[in-house]
Amino acid sequence: MPFLMASVVCNEGTVEVSRTYVPSSGGKGEGGETTTTVTRQFTIATRIFRPMSMSSRRAAPILVLHGGPSVPSDYLYPLVDVVPYRTLVFYDQVGCGRSSAPNDPNAYSIESSVDDLEAVIKKIGLRRFHLYGQSFGGILAFEYLKRVAERGGFDDDDDEGCLSVVLSSTPTSVELVEREAERLLDALRSEEGDDDNGGDGADDDDDDDGEESSPAPA
């Protein structure tokens, strides 16, 4: 059922997706036999603002990919006011917000997230759209376009598919981000270690020979 948010009509929905992965604790088939992979079904929550403009030829909808991972799409809802008279499609990625959140870390991957993106595009029926990827969402947008290019691009009609892409605060290299994050974590661990050891000893009141130091003359 549609509902009103800031006087803008919004439809809530869901998209069912499946992910195949090797479980971290070892998988079991339906008959209890050991298997190398498992396939699980998950639900993705969607919100479509101004759905009545979805098929507009003059103002194609915008599909918004939020950052994170683990951050829901709500923080990007102000885009609805920034971009008036156009449909905006949001969804919470698996593990975020109102979508399914599997406990197994092996259920998550960039490839699976791109699969989910394609499932959302197909289920909603987006034939022509713009992509807006914020932070981690920009990585998904890039990987999606790369996959489409490897398949030979969109259909022959140049007016179909992804018309443009905006990457907002998207890192140029995940490796660099992980390296910098590890550096910051190492610095924090080092500081915690100094605190546990009572500091560097610069404030000790005892002299090196074990005698108490005399107070400085007034």
Ramachandran angles phi, psi of 177, nearest 5°: -60, -45
Helix/strand/coil for 146: helix
Instruction: Note the pLDDT of residue 3.
Output: 46
Ramachandran angles phi, psi of 13, nearest 5°: -160, -175
Please report, for the chain, how many H helices and E strands are present, in that order.
4, 9
| 202: its two tokens | 């610069």
| 191: its two tokens | 């500081």
Judge contact between 104 and 25, C-beta under 8 A. Answer: yes
pTM listed for this prediction? 0.77
Q: What is the mean pLDDT of residues 180-186?
A: 91
Model confidence band, residue 218 (pLDDT cutoffs 50, 70, 90):
very low
Most confident range (mean pLDDT) of 13-17, 36-40, 201-205 is 13-17
Q: Which residue has the tokens 């599997």?
A: 102
All structural domains of the chain: 2-26+36-171 (3.40.50.1820)
- Tell me the pLDDT tens digit for each residue of 25-62: 765 555 666 668 999 999 999 999 999 999 998 999 99
HEC secondary structure over 93-118: CCCCCCCCCCCCHHHCCHHHHHHHHH
Instruction: Note the pLDDT of residue 199.
Output: 58
Count of CA atoms in the C-beta half-sphere (13 A) of 163? 14
